[in-house]
């Protein structure tokens, strides 16, 4: 059995204060010398990055939709090894899931981890009703261990006293803290949630300030005691998805990973899966024209290329390099922001900026979401990464849309790629065009759909095998 102190921080809805509480708890506990491992329920990259900074340890996404059910507890055990406490930030409302049954909800995740739950409740203009809400949450689903409540946006001492007495007397759930109203969100938000920590100055002072607010208003000792009350987890859990390393004579293929301020959305498990499959990962950037080492593959994750279009446009040698590598058959895998980079151009506020030009389409940044949520995509065309017939579980996270490329002459609009150019048919989600996603050319695959390697165990071995094959072709030509 495995003893892992842990708790889940949940809310009634988005915007309840989960992220501020989670960041503050992680930072404040880490400041005491505890080894804190943060987790984020759901697919969000940015919240996970902030949690990792707050705790001083990388955060892990636990997503019941993207991952097989048996993988959730085993991944949790792997990542929480050697830590004093694990803090799991929920998402949306505690019972909100994929359907009316609440599948893939924060509550379902808490049950799968046998983790006590602490509810953060926005108490704005509320007193005794808060007790009814807490009692309802505690009784709504069997098996939920609601161990405490933290009240948010409380007005003053009298308001807090009434709330505490009502909840503890009528709902019989302890109040662990009462956060005051904060005039301004310490972490700005934009169209996809929190602003990236890579785009915000003075990250440490911000996190330290949040930690002080939480430490001043939340009983961290009681919170820690609740985490320590969690039962031991069984150790007879399935290991990480096995992968096969390349044959010894194939060598260790070098796969470039674009990790810069423009593209940095990667699940650590995806990178770990590539390494387990035998790849050597090489960091590269698309924001300058610095030379790249010789590569056998290239991975372009998601991010915000729209915030760095000037640097990308100025890096013409790198854009040309990527286009030529694609034409030469280099295995290239691109997700969302990486796909945007591989297009002919990126339209931001009516100005089209040149991209790598691998695919004859442009993307246009829009004011409203164009794809936001979980997706199911059936693989219908041969490609180096996903076998035909596979149904991928993924998610979309984009405000851009795919459109026709810009013609070489005014008024000339080239046709959009036909269905035969796409490898994915969307069973759920939006994709690029008319329910299609996954443009393919040569050995380049690009999609709006993000995947998790533990939910697509074929992906990393296939990527590495394609990289080995590319390398072998190059060796034969020498």
Residues carrying an active site annotation:
336
Structure tokens at 59: 């955060």
Helices (runs of H) and strands (runs of E) counted in the chain = 13, 25
Nearest to residue 382, comparing CAs of 455, 452, 466? 466
Distance of alpha carbon 110 from alpha carbon 130, whole angstroms: 22
Using DSSP's 3-state secondary structure scheme, residue 233 falls into strand
First to last CA, the chain: 55
Distance of alpha carbon 178 from alpha carbon 126, whole angstroms: 13
Q: Between β-strands 6-11 and 117-122, what pairing exists: parallel, antiparallel or unpaired?
A: parallel
Q: Dihedral sign, CA of 8, 212, 44, 82?
A: negative
Q: What residues contact 64, with CB distance under 8 A and at least 6 apart? A: 41, 72, 103, 104, 105, 108, 109, 112
Reported as half-sphere exposure (CB side, CA atoms, 13 A), residue 68 has a value of 13
- CB neighbourhood size of 328 (10 A): 12
Q: What is residue 325's DSSP assignment?
A: H
Structure tokens at 452: 């998790």
Distance of alpha carbon 315 from alpha carbon 318, whole angstroms: 6
Distance of alpha carbon 475 from alpha carbon 449, whole angstroms: 33
Q: Between β-strands 436-441 and 444-447, what pairing exists: parallel, antiparallel or unpaired?
A: antiparallel
Nearest to residue 239, comparing CAs of 32, 75, 33? 75
**Residues forming beta bridges with residue 146, ordered by sequence position:** 117
Distance of alpha carbon 450 from alpha carbon 373, whole angstroms: 10
């Amino acid at each position: 059995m495995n003893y892992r102190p842990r708790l889940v921080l949940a809310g009634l809805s988005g915007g309840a204060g989960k992220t501020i509480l989670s960041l503050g708890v992680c930072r404040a506990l880490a400041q005491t010398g505890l080894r804190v491992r943060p987790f984020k329920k759901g697919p969000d990259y940015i919240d996970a990055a902030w949690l990792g900074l707050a705790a001083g340890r990388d955060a892990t996404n636990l997503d019941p939709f993207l991952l097989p059910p048996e993988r959730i507890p085993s991944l949790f055990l792997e990542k929480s090894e050697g830590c004093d406490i694990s803090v799991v930030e929920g998402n949306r409302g505690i019972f909100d899931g994929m359907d009316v049954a609440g599948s893939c909800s924060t509550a379902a995740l808490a049950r799968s981890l046998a983790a006590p739950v602490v509810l953060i409740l926005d108490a704005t203009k509320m007193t005794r009703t808060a007790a009814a809400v807490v009692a309802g949450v505690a009784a709504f689903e069997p098996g939920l261990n609601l161990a405490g409540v933290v009240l948010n946006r409380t007005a003053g001492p009298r308001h807090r006293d009434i709330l505490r007495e009502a909840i503890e007397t009528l709902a019989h759930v302890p109040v662990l803290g009462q956060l005051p109203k904060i005039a301004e969100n310490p972490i700005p938000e934009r169209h996809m949630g929190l602003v990236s920590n890579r785009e915000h100055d003075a990250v440490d002072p911000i996190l330290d300030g949040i930690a002080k607010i939480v430490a001043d208003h939340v009983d961290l000792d009681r919170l820690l005691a609740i985490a320590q009350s969690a039962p031991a987890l069984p150790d007879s859990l399935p290991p990480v998805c096995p992968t096969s390393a390349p044959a010894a004579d194939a060598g260790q293929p070098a796969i470039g990973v674009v990790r810069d301020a423009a593209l940095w959305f990667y699940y650590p498990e995806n990178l770990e899966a590539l390494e387990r499959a035998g790849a050597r990962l090489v960091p590269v950037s698309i924001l300058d024209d610095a030379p790249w080492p010789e590569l056998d593959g290239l991975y372009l994750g998601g991010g915000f290329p729209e915030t760095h279009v000037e640097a990308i446009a100025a890096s013409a040698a790198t854009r040309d390099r990527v286009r030529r590598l694609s034409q030469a058959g280099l295995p290239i895998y691109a997700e969302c922001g990486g796909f945007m980079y591989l297009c002919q151009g990126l339209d931001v506020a009516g100005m089209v900026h040149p991209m790598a030009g691998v695919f004859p389409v442009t993307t246009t940044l829009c004011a409203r979401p164009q794809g936001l949520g979980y997706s199911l995509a059936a693989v219908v065309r041969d490609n180096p990464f996903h076998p035909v017939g596979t149904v991928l579980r993924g998610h979309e996270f984009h405000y851009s849309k795919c459109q026709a490329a810009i013609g070489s002459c005014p008024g000339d609009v080239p046709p959009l790629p036909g269905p035969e150019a796409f490898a994915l048919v969307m069973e759920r989600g939006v994709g690029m065009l008319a329910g299609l996603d996954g443009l393919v050319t040569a050995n380049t695959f690009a999609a709006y759909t993000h995947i998790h390697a533990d939910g697509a165990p074929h992906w990393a071995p296939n990527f590495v095998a394609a990289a080995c094959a590319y390398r072998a072709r190059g060796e034969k030509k020498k």
